[in-house]
Amino acid sequence: MICFAATVSHITEPDYWQRQHLTVGTGSTHFLSVLEDNAIRVAVGLRLGCAICEAHPCPCGATVDSLGQHALSCKKNAGRVQRYSWLTDLIHRALIRAEIPAVKEPQGLGRDDGKRPDGLKLVPWQSGRSATRDVTVVHTLAASYVSQGAVQAGIAATAASERKTAKYSSLSSSHVFVPMAVETLGPLADEAQLFLAEIGRRATLCTAIGHWGMCPLDLQQFHF
């Protein structure tokens, strides 16, 4: 297995995790996340532009080429829903680990279209207001982002964050809304990065691992 160590409380740049060292093995005095070998193969292949699968038809009617990038943006890919649910669960567990009471999909905070944010903190988060959040994941190499992304890292996450904030603008008067925008190749929007860093800071104050200044939430786990 291949292990990766990164601490949210020390994150200062969106691509911080990319500069961390990969460690082979499972034993360590630090807190490491463990990725399966196939996950590493796909992640590295996507970043380097290598072939990761055989070309095949997608249920949506498109053709998936050997680079496999279509799966990261196809709305009919069941894996996207699974990864989205896993990501929201990861954030929720981190909040509970940091002793921050929270609930998923809170009642009474829905938009006009019936959609609700992914989670709500039950105690004040900032300026006496509770915080609510909603996750969105965008593909870094999608045709609509790839040109701008080649010039500025994280541009897709930033755009997604702005769209998500606009959709939940009705909550701004009563809650702190945090758009959790993440790109498939790693970068997070500033709001998501700051939110995770704050969870990490609070976790170090109430868990034993605070002795090492580390957080149980590993940014590398946000890589899709």
* pLDDT value at residue 204: 85
pLDDT in tens, 22-53: 444 444 444 445 567 888 888 888 888 899 99
161 within domain boundaries:
yes
Model pLDDT, residue 10: 45
Does residue 128 lie within any of the structural domains?
yes
- What residues have CB less than 8 Å from 154, skipping those under 6 apart? 14, 183, 187, 188, 189
In a domain, 148, yes or no: yes
- Is residue 83 situated within a structural domain? yes
User: What domain count does the chain have?
Assistant: 1
Q: What is the CATH number of the domain that holds 164?
A: 3.40.1350
Residue 196 falls within a domain, yes or no?
A: yes
Residues 64-78: tens digit of each pLDDT: 889 888 888 888 877
Any residues with CB less than 8 A from the CB of 52 and at least 6 apart, and which? 41, 42, 45, 46, 66, 67, 68
In this predicted structure, the answer to whether residue 132 has a pLDDT above a threshold of 80 is: yes
Among 24-33, 102-111, 162-171, name the one with the lowest average pLDDT: 24-33
Q: Own/partner pairs for 141-148, CB < 8 Å, 24+ apart?
A: 141/46, 141/69, 141/72, 141/184, 141/185, 142/73
Determine, yes or no, domain membership for 223.
no
Query: Which structural domain range is residue 159 located in?
Result: 77-208
Please check whether residue 214 lies inside any domain of the structure.
no
pTM over 0.75: no
User: How far apart (Å, rounded) are the C-alpha atoms in residues 1 and 26?
Assistant: 7
* Confidence grade of residue 210 (pLDDT, cut at 50, 70, 90): very low
* 117 vs 119: CA distance, rounded Å: 6
pLDDT at residue 16 is higher than 90? no
**β-bridge mates for residue 119, sequence order:** 104, 133
120 lies in some domain? yes
